[in-house]
Amino acid sequence: MENRKIVQAGRPRSRIFPTREVPILNSAVLFIVTVLIWGTSWIAIDLQIGPVPISVSVFYRIALAAILLLLALAATRRLKFPAQWRFVILQALCLFSLNFVALYNAAALIPSGLVSVVFSLASIFNALNARILFAERITLKVLLAGLLGVCGLILLFWESLAVSFNPDTLRGVGWAFLGTMIFSWGNMASRRNSVSGTTPIIANVWGMGIGAGVLLLLALATRQQLVVTVDPTYLAALLYLAVFASVIGFTTYLMLVSEIGSAQAGYATVVFPVVALVISTFFEGYQWTATAVSGVTLALLGNLVMFGKTGRDRTGRDKMLT
């Protein structure tokens, strides 16, 4: 017991898990898990659209995820109240309710793989919001990454918006941008929760519970029926999104934010569009054009520029904006 105390004292305390029995996961593992889960979640979102109203589908997903996470924490005796509620409530609105309503609406109008590409600009949104909210300096690299990302999206949607104008595409892009911005605000709230001593796992469980309540009120306010379907495809997508994309994916992502910073953690949103686009090509019949390929390349390149220092940053801290 004495040796254990000595070893424990020599280790930095994890800001993610409050108990010492939980190991500190390597940032690379967190990154890979997040990318694989979120890269495959976009097609699951597409499979949920149709038989059930969007806000109701999001409610089912978040409510189920909240219940599962609540039971897991209660069973392991790690459930506790957050240090502060205000940023948990803000995180609930931005990460577990309103952002999903926007992104689901986007996926109903444009291929899910394209929504993921728009969402990949989260790293740039994070940098801009970190400047506004935390006074972190924006470097030339951030500006270059933003320019590449915007140019990439223009090329990606050029055929649908400039050549043959499609109003559904415009609405879909708008919903995707709105969902990404709201998601970025949630990242900022998560940072404040970590600073106040509320771990991501605790912020998630209460945030999901509050978010589910908000979604239920939204559905009732808009007079949407709580439709229940027994369609096996829908139910499989619901389970995947609740367990993997929401509980596991969000927890690993927010752990990554806490470990290496919001701007660099946002790089996970650069890699998973590749997975999402491959799936979209095979399952949604997305047709590639030369301008679309160029657009995706530029968008991903912009995010690569954003994350350029990670390989040399041995401490794993977010230095690019300091």
Q: Are 206 and 92 in contact (CB under 8 A)?
A: yes
Q: Tens place of pLDDT for every residue, the chain, 322 residues?
A: 444 433 444 434 444 444 333 344 477 788 888 888 989 999 999 999 888 999 999 999 999 999 999 999 999 999 999 988 999 999 999 999 999 999 999 999 998 888 988 887 887 888 889 888 888 888 888 788 888 888 888 888 888 777 667 888 899 999 999 999 999 999 899 889 988 888 888 998 999 999 999 999 999 999 998 988 889 999 999 999 999 988 888 778 778 877 777 666 766 766 788 888 888 888 888 888 888 899 888 888 887 787 665 444 444 343 333 3
In a domain, 21, yes or no: no
DSSP E strand boundaries for 175-242 = none
Give the model's pLDDT for residue 244. Answer: 92
Residue 208 inside a domain? The answer is: yes
Q: Identify the H or E element spanning 143.
A: helix 140-156
pLDDT at 146: 82
- When divided into structural domains, the chain yields a total of 1
Q: Which residues contact 228 (CB under 8 A, 6 or more apart)?
A: none
- 291, part of any domain: yes
Domain of residue 285: give its range. Answer: 26-312
Whether residue 256 lies inside any domain: the answer is yes
Asked whether residue 13 is assigned to any structural domain, the reply reads no
In a domain, 41, yes or no: yes
Q: Phi-psi category of 137—alpha, beta or left, where left has phi over 0 and alpha has psi -120 to 50?
A: beta
In-domain check, residue 319 = no
User: Cβ(204)–Cβ(251) under 8 Å?
Assistant: yes
On whether the pTM is more than 0.95, the answer is no
- Could you tell me if residue 64 is inside a domain? yes
